[in-house]
Structure 1
Amino acid sequence: MENRTCSGCHIALTAQHENSVRKGERLIFCEHCSRILFWQESEDLEGLAVATKRRRRRKALKS
């Protein structure tokens, strides 16, 4: 599962399926291609790292 879509067929998952995959209590299959969907914690952390990076503006030097 990547970006709320199946990694195989790239069809968007419903919110219910996404939550079930994240919980990991049972096997969840894609409704379209029948692949087993799974969630990796590192996906969540990578998204946070990218979202929190900020660029600093350089101030112009006064002459």
Structure 2
Amino acid sequence: MGLGVILIFLAVIFILWSLFSRKRKYKIISNALLMAGTIALFTSILLLTGIYDPYANHIK
């Protein structure tokens, strides 16, 4: 759960940074930051909902 919360803040920072860089006409950097923010947001949602649990002991 801790990593999911940290990734939400990281995703918000990346997405906001991409929106500000889009206004300054840096398209490639903006698209890369937006993609990184989206991936971080989806990963944090998976971690927070419990769909993906890296600490679960599935294999015995």
Task: Give your verdict on TM over 0.5.
Answer: no
Choose between structure 1 and 2: higher helix proportion. 2
TM-score by length of 2: 0.32
| TM-score (normalised: structure 1) | 0.31
Instruction: Pick the structure with greater CA Rg.
Output: 1
Higher strand content, 1 or 2:
1
Q: Which of the pair has the greater relative contact order for Cα pairs under 8 Å at 6+ separation?
A: 2
